[in-house]
Chains A and B, each alone.
Chain A
Amino acid sequence: EAQVTQNPRYLITVTGKKLTVTCSQNMNHEYMSWYRQDPGLGLRQIYYSMNVEVTDKGDVPEGYKVSRKEKRNFPLILESPSPNQTSLYFCASSFRTGAAYEQYFGPGTRLTVT
């Protein structure tokens, strides 16, 4: 089944404790992206990657890191999480075929930083 998977789905952590949220897709998509969703602010893009070893900042990259060593994986790293990073996170992927960026989203990771 074609899908984007994220782990963990739920995470409660403390300020400053490094964490990684994994994202994997089995559709051979070139493009992958991370979003966060907050009440009243909607979905905002954190980082994106056009292909392996190519990443770029989205609208809200501060406090996050990403890497794209393999085509299927795009982990999101929070080196020193803070309470303002409490949010619902989504990973997405798509082919890059001309202007068609039909993005497939993962199920989401709900992160709470205390």
Chain B
Amino acid sequence: DAKTTQPTSMDCAEGRAANLPCNHSTISGNEYVYWYRQIHSQGPQYIIHGLKNNETNEMASLIITEDRKSSTLILPHATLRDTAVYYCIVFLYNQGGKLIFGQGTELSVKP
């Protein structure tokens, strides 16, 4: 499975966009990029996923580079409640739905 690399921690001012990068240089053509977040010790929460095209939903946007070796999760207007650990995961769906979580990025949104 492709490995992901994320910064350990990031800060963001409340109301500003939070841009969380992820490197997945060994990603295969049929592997999806998924983002989850975990607030404190709660269950992880799905945010968004994509294969090649950029994606947007009510929570966030996902920008995937053309070579698919990296991606950026964008929270357009971060709030204090967005403080969490964000996990970037590449996922091969025909491997039993396995999610391999890395260490993630601890995002702190500050007033």
Complex interface: stretch among B8-16, B38-46, B61-69:
B38-46
Of B32, B41, B46, B97, which is within 8 A of A50 by CB? Answer: B97
**What are the residues of chain B within 8 A of A104 when measuring CB–CB?**
46
Name the residue among A31, A59, A90 with the largest chain B CB count within 10 angstroms. Answer: A90
Counting from the closest, the 8 A-B pairs by CB-CB distance are A105-B43, A43-B101, A99-B93, A42-B101, A102-B46, A101-B97, A105-B44, A31-B97
Q: How many Å lie between the Cα of A43 and that of B36 in the bound state? A: 12
Q: Does B91 contact A (CB under 8 A)?
A: yes
Chain A: CB-nearest residue to B45: A105
Q: How many Å lie between the Cα of A100 and that of B32 in the bound state? A: 9
- Can you list 29 pairs linking A and B with CB atoms under 8 Å apart? A35-B99, A37-B41, A42-B102, A43-B99, A43-B101, A45-B99, A48-B98, A50-B97, A56-B96, A59-B100, A88-B41, A90-B43, A90-B44, A98-B93, A99-B51, A100-B49, A100-B93, A101-B97, A101-B99, A102-B49, A103-B44, A103-B46, A103-B97, A103-B99, A106-B43, A107-B43, A108-B41, A108-B42, A108-B43
Task: Sort chain A's interface into a size bin.
Answer: 20 to 34
* A interface residues (Cβ-Cβ under 8 A, vs B): 4, 31, 33, 35, 37, 42-45, 48, 50, 56, 58-59, 88, 90, 92, 94, 96, 98-108, 110
